[in-house]
Amino acid sequence: MNIEKILEFMNIVENLKKTKRTGWIKNKIKNSESVADHSFRTALLALVLSDELNVDRDVMVKMALIHDIGECIIGDLTPDDKKRVEKYKMEKKAIEQLSKLSGDKEMLDLWLEFEKQEPLESQYIHQLDKLEMVIQALEYEKTQKVNLDSFFKNSKEHIKNPKLLEIFEAVEKRRNYK
Q: Tell me what percent of the residues of the chain surpass a pLDDT of 70.
A: 96
Q: 133 CB contacts (<8 Å, ≥6 apart)?
A: 23, 38, 151, 155
> 9 pLDDT exceeds 80?
yes
Average pLDDT over residues 18-35: 96
CATH number of the domain to which 124 belongs: 1.10.3210.10
What residue numbers bound the domain in which 16 lies?
3-173
d(CA 141, CA 58): 33
pLDDT at 86: 84
Average pLDDT over residues 95-100: 97
Average pLDDT, the chain: 94
- Is 24 part of a structural domain of the chain? yes
Number of domains in the chain: 1
- Is 178 part of a structural domain of the chain? no
Q: What are phi and psi of 34, to 5 degrees?
A: -95, 170
In the beta sheet, which residues pair with residue 20? 34
What end-to-end distance do the CA atoms of the chain give, in Å? Answer: 52
Q: Are 138 and 171 in contact (CB under 8 A)?
A: yes
pLDDT tens readout for residues 34-48: 999 999 999 999 999
